[in-house]
Structure formats: structure tokens, C-alpha cells
Structure 1
């Protein structure tokens, strides 16, 4: 399948998924500061790997992922109503730790550039 089409579909799913999480989900396990970092749809549109960033401790992050996994059916139905796809991909939620890793890298860079501070 065309890579541009797959990336457009990924971006549309990301946009709509962000709105659904923010305004439609009522699960108390999902904190208000939950963002969709990325969506990678496979070329055959059968799977969508979704990176979720959650502001909070490890327990809150795990609870948010569990809440999203349990809401997968509702989310797929909402996405199906908003997007005109022949088949909706299976949603695979995962925790995105890239922000945390980036902050750790910045701290290490600062330590190397300014030793003793």
C-alpha cells in the first residue's frame, strides 16, 4: 500500500483518538493529562501501534494503559464512526517513554558540558 496513504491514516487516527480520549472516555483510570504521542499503522492496515504519554507515576501510567485496553471496543466504534475505512485496525496501546528518556539525556549532556555544577 502507498506509504503516504498509510501515514495519512496514522495521522487521522492520532487526531481522532486524541479527541476521543480527551472528551469521550469516562474511565477513572485514565488521567486528564493523557496524550497520544504517535500512531504507527501497518502497511496492510491490520494493526495500529499507539504510543501513549501519561503524566504521573508508574502506577498511574499502567492504570491508564489498562483503561485504554479495556475501552478498545468503544474506541474502535468511535473511530469507525469518524473515519471511513473498510476495516478498522486492531489497536495496540503502549507506554511512550520518549519524553522521559529525552529529559534523562538532556541531564547527562548538561553534566558533561558543565561538570561540578
Structure 2
């Protein structure tokens, strides 16, 4: 895939997302990370802050498990930043900010509403 025409922040964000997903799945020792998927990574223009959105399969925003995962991600930040710095060879390793992505649960809710509406006909 050609990266021509794609801004550097966009390329860095894509690499951060890919590398973090690999780290969380394969190397982080916390079992809470096994149920999550990274949905989006945005990075500031100066590459100093990476905002990572994640979803938890089978959970919604109000579920206490979401807070548990956020706390675990917060504890793992140092490890994750160190690994990102060495794997991606970034001059500045961005501060990682994790946020729960509620879009997948909204999509599931809307799909359910559509299916119910179609079944009533």
C-alpha cells in the first residue's frame, strides 16, 4: 500500500495503533486486554499526544469492566511507551491517552432496532 499523500501524523497514528494492538494482544500480561480491540488512533500534529480509542467485546460504556481496563491501560502506559519508542524509533514518543469507544455498542443497538422493525412487517 502506497503511503504517498498521507500526512506524517496519519502514518504515525496507523503505526502506533498496529504496534499497540500487537503489544496488548501478545506481550502485555494483563488478561483484560484480550477482550479489547483498538478502534482508532489519532495523534496531535506535533506528535506529542496519541489518543487511542478501544472497544470491549460484550461490554457497554457503563460496565465496571471498562473502568478496570482503563486503569490497567493507565498502569501499562510506561511499558507501552517504551516499547513504542524502541519499535517505531520515534524521536518523541507521544503521551498515550486511552478512551472507551461506544460507537460499536451504538451500531449494535441500531442494527437491533432495524432488525426488529423489519421483522414486524
* Whole-Å separation in 2 of the counterparts to 1:115 and 1:14: 41
Provide the alpha-carbon RMSD of the alignment: 1.8
Q: How many residue pairs align between the two structures? A: 114
* Whole-Å separation in 1 of the counterparts to 2:88 and 2:41: 15
Q: Describe the superposition over 1:27-82 as per-residue Cα deviations: whole angstroms up to 9, x where unpaired.
A: 24x24122111100011111111011112441222211110111101100000010
Query: Residue in 2 aligned with 1:37?
Result: 39
Is the contact between residue 34 and residue 55 of structure 1 (CA under 8 Å) also seen in structure 2?
yes
Uncovered stretches (5+) of structure 2, i.e. residues with no partner = none
1:79 alignment partner, SS class: helix
* Whole-Å separation in 2 of the counterparts to 1:43 and 1:114: 47
1:71 alignment partner, SS class: helix
- Residues 10, 21 of structure 1: CA spacing in aligned structure 2 closer, same or farther, 3 A cutoff? same
Is the contact between residue 24 and residue 33 of structure 2 (CA under 8 Å) also seen in structure 1?
no
- Residues 80, 31 of structure 1: CA spacing in aligned structure 2 closer, same or farther, 3 A cutoff? closer
* Whole-Å separation in 2 of the counterparts to 1:44 and 1:96: 24
Mapping of 1:1-117 within 5 angstroms?
A: 4-28=7-31, 30-57=32-59, 58-115=63-120
Uncovered stretches (5+) of structure 1, i.e. residues with no partner = none
1:53 alignment partner, SS class: strand
* Whole-Å separation in 2 of the counterparts to 1:63 and 1:39: 20
Q: Could you tell me how far 1:3 is from its partner in structure 2?
A: 6.0
